[in-house]
Amino acid sequence: MPASAASIEVALSEAKSFVEAELEALLPAPVGPEAKLMTAMRYAVLGGGKRLRPFFVIESGSLFGVDRRSLGRAAAAIECVHIYSLVHDDLPAMDNDDLRHGHPTVHKAFDEATAILAGDALLTHAFAILAAADTHGDPFVRCELISRLAQAAGHGGMIGGQVMDLAFEGAKPAQHEIIRMQRMKTAALLAFSCEAGAILGKASQPLRNALVAFGQELGLAFQIVDDILDAEGDAGALGKAARKDAARGKATIVAEIGTERAKTQSQAMVKQAIRHLDLFGEKADLLRAAAEFVVSRKH
Amino acid sequence: MPASAASIEVALSEAKSFVEAELEALLPAPVGPEAKLMTAMRYAVLGGGKRLRPFFVIESGSLFGVDRRSLGRAAAAIECVHIYSLVHDDLPAMDNDDLRHGHPTVHKAFDEATAILAGDALLTHAFAILAAADTHGDPFVRCELISRLAQAAGHGGMIGGQVMDLAFEGAKPAQHEIIRMQRMKTAALLAFSCEAGAILGKASQPLRNALVAFGQELGLAFQIVDDILDAEGDAGALGKAARKDAARGKATIVAEIGTERAKTQSQAMVKQAIRHLDLFGEKADLLRAAAEFVVSRKH
């Protein structure tokens, strides 16, 4: 039985509450003359967001019966990495954004030095969380999570993609270059979120690969939808400035092929993504429905 | 027989060559539209430096017969973390430095966005290096290295110390607050460098603790010497601007008690540091002599 939109909203909302409680517990308390750092870390992390990456960690891990504590910690670590990337991307030297989730960005609410350092501290903390024995009893599993996270988030993944994104501003990259950039900038961490559940569950390589492939395709579709929303943008609903991509000459699929064709393409990509889950049968119905849901979002 | 100054210089120079070859091999090659990122990472890392942290990894590991490959990788990872911290500290929003090791800082040679992202990528890469099986066959050891590195470099260590350092500018913190700041900002990573050898060598807890204590005291002494050199500063010899601390109203021990008393204090701290090595007998002679040597440096 396919999952209904209502049941997906419930699952997303449950994952959000669960990981937010976990983050609240795992983030350091603000104390001492350095309290501003921890306050900024908490401000950045606890200020909102859909918590999609945590949702995919939890749902993919649930396919293999992974326990809640492991899922919560891995989900929190990945969310810390996602948030650090937003904090740094928002800086004046990068996208220079004043608003995120309807609140002032970290460098606006605090200052630039604090934003840089809070981002650094969140990235570092993510690895501390994953390395701790509480995340999984088997240190091979913990090392595998760390290794793959570092790849997804590093020069060959998210950071490399961000550098390409900046390099492409005002340029005319080919469509395959834009796709490669978005595969690195956005899809790599989403794919790792899906893979993390498989790693924690010591899944067989084919099942793990299927989740990675699902996450990769979904990540690309997700990025296109993000770009469509920016192009059609309503800042109030988005909680951040809209129509920024065009203003900055960002290279996006939407800029390349237009909004309507981009919509069609994102739908096709989601179908493609979901096909990778065939191996799991109906156990993956919620993941499939969530993928459709996420890409049909309006903000 | 105490190690001579000449033999220490040889040992330091050998460690430097060894870790630089390792870094050269471990850093990604610049390719693709994101090549600027890798070029900046290499520029930051391979542009010089005394490689003191790698030296202490190698020497402490040698006490336990740790193999060269493990030492090289752990040393390279720690150096990546040290360098990332310099790249971010040099940014306009923080110390705003134009010169490092006699060359333009990364944001001067490239741009601010690239400096932020290259720092992020170096930090991420350090964890990738440590998590890989090549670093040590036992994943418990790798997780322990990652866990302790994240603590030493994170909000409770180096980054927390940097936030305190910025908060203390123009303020009048008590001496114990300056000491705590420097313990976090500088000594934590140096102490971890010494501890890393013990972790790799699966040393007993008392021996491991002794190396941590040695690194902590030495790190404090080292920071005082750094501040004295800044105060007495010769930019040519330092390869960076001098007398910056006073100009910025930085809180340092030198500013608190004056250069002469600070010299005496740093000498006393080194003696204190060395005493922690009593457990090792003459096997630690080179470490002892290196500690004395490092703190007697003139640039």
Inter-residue contact A123 to A84 (CB < 8 Å): yes
Residues of A in contact with B117 (CB under 8 A): 88, 159, 162-163
Tokens in use for B85? 């911290």
CA pair distance B279, B225, nearest whole angstrom: 27
State percent of chain B over pLDDT 70: 96
User: Nearest 5°: CA angle at A143, between A142 and A148?
Assistant: 105
What is the average pLDDT across B26-42?
97
Secondary structure (DSSP) of A67-104: -HHHHHHHHHHHHHHHHHHHHHHTSTTTT--SEETTEE
Judged on CB neighbours under 10 Å (0-12, 13-18, 19+), B30 is middle
Q: B-chain residues within 8 Å CB-CB of A94?
A: 113, 116
- Which residue matches tokens 């190396």? B211
Please check whether residue A119 touches B, CB under 8 A.
yes
Measured in whole angstroms, the distance separating CA B147 from the mean position of its chain's CA atoms is 17
* Mean pLDDT confidence for B49-68: 97
What is the C-alpha separation between A227 and A245, in angstroms, rounded?
A: 8
pLDDT at B1: 46
Q: Which residues of B touch A106 (CB under 8 A)?
A: none
Average pLDDT, chain A: 94
**Pairwise CA distance, residues A51 & A49, whole Å:** 6
| Two tokens, residue A58 | 């939890």
Task: Name chain A contacts of B93, Cβ cutoff 8 Å.
Answer: 111-113, 116
Instruction: Provide the pLDDT confidence category of residue B6 given band limits of 50, 70 and 90.
Output: confident
Interface test with A, best of B39, B88, B143 (most A CBs within 10 A): B143
Interchain contact B113–A (C-beta under 8 A): yes
- pLDDT at residue A298 tops 80: no
Q: Closest approach of chain A CAs to the CA of B185, in angstroms?
A: 11
Q: d(Cα B45, Cα B25) in Å, to the nearest integer?
A: 12
Task: Indicate if the alpha-carbon torsion angle A113, A153, B39, B146 is positive or negative.
Answer: positive
Per the structure block, which two tokens stand in for A25? Answer: 């517990």
CB contact under 8 A, A155 and B121: yes
Query: Is any Cβ of chain B less than 8 angstroms from the Cβ of A106?
Result: no
Residue B3 is predicted with a pLDDT of 64
Q: Is the pLDDT of residue B250 over 90?
A: no
**Would you say residue B248 has pLDDT above 90?**
no
Q: What pLDDT, on a 0 to 100 scale, did the predictor assign at position A1?
A: 46
Instruction: Say whether pLDDT at A280 is over 90.
Output: yes
CA geometry: angle at B109 spanning B105 and B115, to 5°? 65
B169-198: pLDDT as tens digits? 988 899 999 999 999 999 999 999 999 999
Rounded Cα gap, residues B237 and A130, in angstroms: 42
The pLDDT score that the predictor gives to residue B244 is 80
Q: What is the DSSP letter of A80?
A: H
For residue A178, give the chain B residue with the closest CA: B33
Q: Which long-range contacts (CB under 8 A, 24 or more apart) does A37-42 make?
A: A37/A114, A37/A117, A37/A118, A37/A121, A37/B155, A37/B159, A37/B160, A37/B163, A38/B155, A39/A110, A40/A106, A40/A109, A40/A110, A40/A114, A40/A115, A40/A117, A40/A118, A41/A118, A41/A121, A41/A122, A41/A125, A41/B155
Which site among A42, A163, A178 would you substitute to test the B interface, given the most B Cβ atoms closer than 10 Å to its Cβ? A163
- What pLDDT does B48 receive? 86
What is the Cα–Cα distance from B167 to B91, expressed in whole angstroms? 16
Closest chain B C-alpha to A62 CA, distance in angstroms: 25
pLDDT at residue B253, as a whole number: 87
d(CA A144, CA A166): 30
Cβ atoms within 10 Å, residue A81: 24
Is a pLDDT exceeding 90 seen at residue B237?
no
Amino acid identity for residue A182 in this structure: Q
Q: Out of B123, B144, B163, name the one closest to residue A123 (CB).
A: B123
**Subunit contact B116:A132, Cβ cutoff 8 A:** no
| Tens digits of residue pLDDT in A25-58 | 999 999 999 999 999 999 999 988 999 999 999 9
Q: Is B229 helix (H, G, I), strand (E, B) or coil?
A: helix
Q: With contacts defined as CB-CB under 8 Å, which chain B residues touch A27?
A: none
Q: Other C-beta atoms within 10 Å of B245: how many?
A: 18
Give the containing element (helix H, strand E) for B215: helix B205-231
pLDDT tens readout for residues B86-104: 999 999 999 999 999 899 9
Closest CA to B80 of B68, B70, B88: B88
3-class secondary structure, B94:
coil
Quote the tokens at residue B81: 């973390």
Q: Is A160 on the interface with B (CB under 8 A)?
A: yes
Structure token digits, residue A6? 């209502």
How high is the ipTM of this complex? 0.96
Counting one residue from chain A and one from chain B, the pairs whose CB atoms sit within 8 A come to 170
End-to-end CA gap in chain A: 27
Residue B99 backbone dihedrals phi, psi, to 5 degrees: -135, 140
A70, pLDDT greater than 60: yes
Whole-prediction pTM value? 0.96
User: Would you give the DSSP letter of residue B132?
Assistant: S
Q: How many CB atoms are closer than 10 A to CB B201?
A: 23
Contact B178, B168 (CB under 8 A): yes
Question: Cβ contact (<8 Å) for A34 and B161?
Answer: yes
Task: Look at residue B299 in the predicted model and tell me its pLDDT.
Answer: 64
Contact A127 B127 (CB under 8 A): yes
Tell me which residues of chain B, numbers 207 to 236, contact chain A at a CB-CB cutoff of 8 Å. none
pLDDT tens-digit profile of A126-181? 999 999 999 999 999 999 999 999 999 999 999 999 999 999 998 889 999 999 99
Q: Is the pLDDT of residue B214 over 70?
A: yes
